[in-house]
Chain A
C-alpha cells in the first residue's frame, strides 16, 4: 500500500508539473523561419513583433489572404485590388479607391512598402497602431470591403485549403480574427523595397547621372532664404529641403505633418486624436517607388511629380494649415526657387527610388 502511494505521489508530482509548463498545442507542428535577404547596409535591422515571428507558412497564408477577394462581402475585392504591386502597392493610378458598393473613398491608397519600420501608426491619419489591426480595418470598412470579420471566419473555415493553410501556419484549423490579422501582418512585413538605383548607388554598384546627382543635392539641401547671398553655380544653394520630412532610408517621417496644401477639409491626424494642432496633418509617406505611386498627396490631387514639386515651389500663402506651427514648411514659403533644369533634376533623382525588383518580385505577387 505504502509503495503504491509513493508511486502515486511521484507520478502525480510529475503530471502536475508537466501540466503547468506544457503549453504547446495538442497537435505538434513545425514552421520554417522566414529570412530576409535585403542588404542590411541599406535599411535597418528587421523589426518583427515578438508575438508574431515570420514563418514561411505564415507569410504564404498572408499572401493568399492578401490576394483573395473572399475577404470582401461580395467576393469582388481583395487587399490587392487597391494595393497593386506594379503600382508600388497603390491603387492603379486612381485618386481615390472605390469600394465594393461603388463608394468612393476620401483618401489616396498608400504605399505599403517597408511597413516593418513604421513607428507611429498606419494609414494617413495613424488611426491604427498595430499592423495586424490595420489589416482587418479595410475588411470591415463600409466604403471598402464592407464585410464582417465573423463572416470572413465562417467563409475561411468552410475552405479546406484555408483550414490546411492556417494549420500549417498556426498549428490549428481554428480560424479567428487574431490569426487572420497576424498572417496578413506577416505577409505585409515581408514587402521590403531596397533595390532601387538609389540603393545600388549607395552600395557602390552603380553611379548617378550628373542630373540625378544634382537632384539628390537639391533634395538634401536646406532651403535658403532669398535675401541671402547665393552662388548660382552651386546646387547646394538651391535646396528644396525635401529631406527634413523624407530624409531617412525609408524616405519618410514618423511624424504627422502639414504640407502646405490649400483647401484641405480632411482633419487627418487631428480627426483621430482630437488635437486641433494636428488638424490637416498626415503621415509623410515614403517616397520609395514614388514614380509609380501617383497620384500624390493624401487626397491624390496631383497627378505628376512635376506638379508636386511645383506645389512646394509656390508661396504656400493659401495653405489651410497655419505654417507658423510647422517651421520646416514655413521656411519653404519663399525660399525654393528652382530653375526648370533643377526641377527636372529633382524629379530624375526621385525616379532613382523606383525598385523594379519590388514591383515584379514573384514572392509578393498573386499566388492564385
Chain B
C-alpha cells in the first residue's frame, strides 16, 4: 500500500514536470545584441517645450507652436576603437506636438561606444524611393508621417508650424530637399554587454536654436513660410538648426 502511494505521488510529480513550460536551458537574460531607447527632450531655451501656448522666440515675437515633426535617419555609433557601426534601415518619426518622442535603435553589437551619429532627413536614394514600399505604420510611410511631397518628390525633413500671437498670422516651415539633410555626431560614453544590453538615452533638442543661432530669425521680417528647398527662409533656418541638439545622455 505504501509503495502504491509513493508510485502515485511520483505519477503526479511526473505529470506536472512533463508539462513544465520552462525547459529551455539557455539563460534568456543573455543577449547577443543591444538596443538603445531614445527619448527626444524638446526645450525652448531652458524651459520645456509646450504646444498651443504662448512662447517667446529669441526675436521677442510671441508665438504658439502647433506642430513639430521631423524624421531621423542615418544612425551609426562610433565604438571605442573608432570603428563606425552603421545601424542600417533604422528611422524615427518624431511628432513632438503629439508627445510621440521615443524610438528604439536595435541590433546594436555589444560593445563600448563613444559617439552617436544621425541625420535630420534622409539620404537621396531613400528620400526619393517609392514610399509605398513601407508598411503604413513605418516612420517613412507618408500615411503615417504626413511628411511627403507627392510620389517620389521626397520627404519634408522637418515641419514646424504655428501662429504668431500678435496678429494670429500662421507660419509654416517645411524644410525639405536633399541638400538640407543635417548630419550630427554627438559624444557619449556607454557600454553594453550580454547581461546589460538594453540602454535608454535622452537627446535634448532646443527649439530656440532654430530661431537664434547664428542668426536671429524673425517671422515678421524673415518670412512665415518656406516654399522651396533653397528659399532664403529655408537656408537661414537650416543653418540655425545645426546646433539644435544640445545634449545626449545615456541613463
Contact = CB atoms under 8 A, between A and B. Distances in A.
Our verdict on whether A and B bind, yes or no, reads yes
B11 A44 contact: no
B64 to A, nearest CB: 8
A277 interface: yes
Contacts, number: 109
Interface in A270-286: 277
Greatest chain B CB density within 10 A among A44, A47, A119, A250 is at: A44
Main SS class of interface, B: mixed
A277 B52 contact: yes
A107 interface: no
B144 A119 contact: yes
Contacts of A254: 143-144, 146
B170 A250 contact: no
Given A220-B153, A330-B170, A16 B19 contact: yes
Interface residues of B, number: 41
A339 interface: no
Contacts of B151: 202, 249
Contact of B19 (A1, A20, A47, A224): A20
A249 B131 contact: yes
A13 B16 CA distance: 8
A17 interface: yes
Interface string A182-217: 000000000000000000001000000000000000
Contact of A117 (B136, B146, B171): B136
Interface in A1-17: 1-2, 5, 8-9, 12-13, 16-17
Contacts of B146: 244, 247-248, 253-255
A331 B173 CA distance: 12
B163 A324 contact: yes
Interface in A31-58: 40-45, 47
Interface of A: 1-2, 5, 8-9, 12-13, 16-17, 20, 40-45, 47, 117, 119, 202, 219-220, 222, 224-225, 228, 243-244, 247-250, 253-255, 277, 323-325, 327-328, 330-331
18 contacts: A5-B4, A5-B11, A16-B19, A17-B18, A44-B132, A44-B143, A45-B133, A45-B134, A202-B151, A222-B227, A247-B148, A250-B143, A253-B146, A327-B161, A327-B170, A327-B172, A328-B161, A330-B170
